[in-house]
Structure 1
Amino acid sequence: MATGRRVPERCEPMWVAGEAYEPYVGRWSRPVAHRFVRWTGAAPGGSWRDVGCGTGAVTQAVLDVAEPVTVVGVDPSAGYVAYARKSVTDQRAGFVLADAVNLPFADSTASVAVSGLVLNFVPDAPRAAAEMVRVVRPGGLVGAYVWDFEEGGMEAIRAFWDAASALDPDAAALDEAVRFPLCGRAPLGELLVGAGLEDVDVDEITVPTRFSGFDDYWQPFLGGQGPAPAYVASLSEDHRAGLRERLRSALPRAADGSIALRARAWAARGTRGT
């Protein structure tokens, strides 16, 4: 099938609208965020930094689970920061517009620094990890999690790229499993070790992702938030329709029309040496 592309070959994600991100990935990020914060084992209290806070999923999980004194979310997207400020209303939380590789915090001023579903999108992930280490106090905790885009990982996105690549060989280069080698057990752990953290541990977090029907699965791909939706936006109407129908045929559906998948993330944590 001809690709029918209307935009340049490389389709960059657009992280600007929280309203579009939430039904796409945000709704699945929230249960992972809560499990991740519990998994860090951080002591109650303290001052947290949520690097690449997006729409506020991890920030809210920290408030719900960790009993922080304060938590500050950081994101370079003005749209996401605005969304987070509206959705996270706890007075202990604050949000600032800033980049992960230049955190606007003094050295050794936080108890914990965490990042959810972000580091694979940062052009210089080692520098971002080093920044997270810099801002925590000696003995403080640094943690991060990323989706697993390989087979058996984030199944909703895996199914999308399998279908897209079958119709358009050029789509294979845009597949998140290809673009983001950081998103695996070993690479994520190596990133934290390379940042100088001690006692680094890596584990998987898996949550169910149930869609009420095919439209519930497909519609978020039309919102332009992320690599897969950006690719959909680049297609001609005919190619988009072909991709939609291929997915409709490929996805497993229950008798009631629902689609039961799962999403796996890799999570890593480590401690700054004293």
Structure 2
Amino acid sequence: MAQRPPDVWARGHAYERYMGRWSRQVAEVFVAGLGGRNGLRWLDVGCGTGALTGAVAARCRPRAVVGVDRSRGFLRAARAAVPAPAGFAVADASALPFHDAVFDAAVSGLALNFLEPPGPAVAEAARVVRPGGLVAAYVWDYAEGMGLLRHFWDAAASVDPAAATRDEGRRFPLCRPGPLHALWTGAGLLDVSVAPIEVPTVFNGFAELWEPFLSGQGPAPGYVATLAPAARDRLRTRLATTLPTGPDGSVALTARAWAVRGRRP
């Protein structure tokens, strides 16, 4: 069996057009729900283009907030988008370059399912927060709640059955309440809870929805990049026929994420 190409995360601008605008909405809701006092020290693990880091910096008046990611391209975009007091560094989520208990909160947005395995990253996040500190994250509900990707992969599988193996709904069983809860409790965290976050994803027309899939950034655009022009056109046509399109040509969908939180003993 041919090996699946790795997911590409390198070009911040392309990611923003594809998924970043929706991830910023989710980040705002997520941070608003965390509560907590001002002046805390925050770590954003797998910060990407800085959506969650920026929400923390804007809403929480942090003493410090640091975003780490393996993608230098994404970090360049994050540095350009998020002003001080935010700082950024290249780092592996499974081997964080920080001493024990130096942060008050460690958070992560839309990254956990891309860490294989995710357990070491959660353990590292727990290690670097103080006793009683917060460890929280959110991931897309790929299987059921991410309307854009659900329509895309269903259309892809209808014209190319082999595409089903690349569907994030199948690839990421972690992105459900039960597995997330188990991951947090398995890391020794207390008072664990999981809750949904849902935001609207509205496109002015099909072209606005389709063009970001040509960017090559992430699993679905990465799949499109492998297709010959004729196969790409078949997928485009099939997807267009399955979407809920309004009289003005707009496409109104929703995106759901699952947020998990707990505290270090």
1:155–1:261: 8 Å Cα contact kept in structure 2? yes
TM-score, normalised relative to structure 2: 0.98
1:64 positional shift: 1.6
The answer as to 2:97 corresponding to 1:104 is: yes
Partner of 1:21: 15
Matched, 1:139 2:132: yes
Instruction: Report the TM-score, using the length of structure 1 for normalisation.
Output: 0.95
Unaligned runs of 5+ residues in structure 2 are none
Structure 1 Cα separation of the partners of residues 142 and 102 of structure 2: 34
Query: Which residue does 2:261 correspond to in 1?
Result: 269
Task: State the one-letter code of the partner of 2:116.
Answer: P
The alignment status of 1:69 with 2:44, answered yes or no, reads no
> Match for residue 207 of structure 1?
199
Contact 1:42 1:141 in 2 (8 A): no
Identical positions, percent: 56
Contact 1:11 1:174 in 2 (8 A): no
Residue 181 (1) aligns with residue 155 (2): no
1:160 and 1:44 map into 2 onto residues whose CA distance is: 41
Which amino acid counterpart does residue 26 of structure 1 have in structure 2?
Answer: G
Q: What secondary structure sits across from 1:146 in the alignment?
A: strand
Higher relative contact order (CA 8 A, sep 6+): 1
Contact 1:11 1:227 in 2 (8 A): no
Cα distance in 2 for partners of 1:238, 1:11 equals 21
Deviation at 1:13, TM superposition (A): 1.2
Checking the alignment, whether the CA contact within 8 Å between 1:211 and 1:217 is kept in structure 2 is yes
Aligned to 1:235: 227
Instruction: Tell me what 2:120 maps to.
Output: 127
Query: In structure 2, what is the Cα distance between the partners aligned to 1:197 and 1:59?
Result: 23
Match of 2:141 among 140, 148, 152: 148
Aligned residues: 264
Alignment pair present for 1:85 and 2:79: yes
Moved more, 97-106 or 39-48: 39-48
Residue 209 of structure 1: SS of its match in structure 2?
strand
Aligned-residue CA RMSD (Å) = 0.9
The runs of at least 4 consecutive aligned structure 1 residues that moved more than 6 Å come to none
Deviation at 1:25, TM superposition (A): 0.7
Alpha-carbon distance, 1:114 to partner: 0.2
Q: Note the alpha carbon deviations across 1:16-72, whole angstroms, 9 max, x for none.
A: 000100011100000100110111223222100000000000000101211111100
Counterpart of 1:93, as a letter, is A
Tell me the equivalent position of 1:196: 188
Looking at structure 2, the residues matched to 198 and 20 of structure 1 have their Cα atoms a distance apart, in angstroms, of 38
In structure 2, C-alpha distance between the alignment counterparts of 1:9 and 1:232, rounded to whole Å: 16
> What secondary structure does 1:72 align onto?
strand
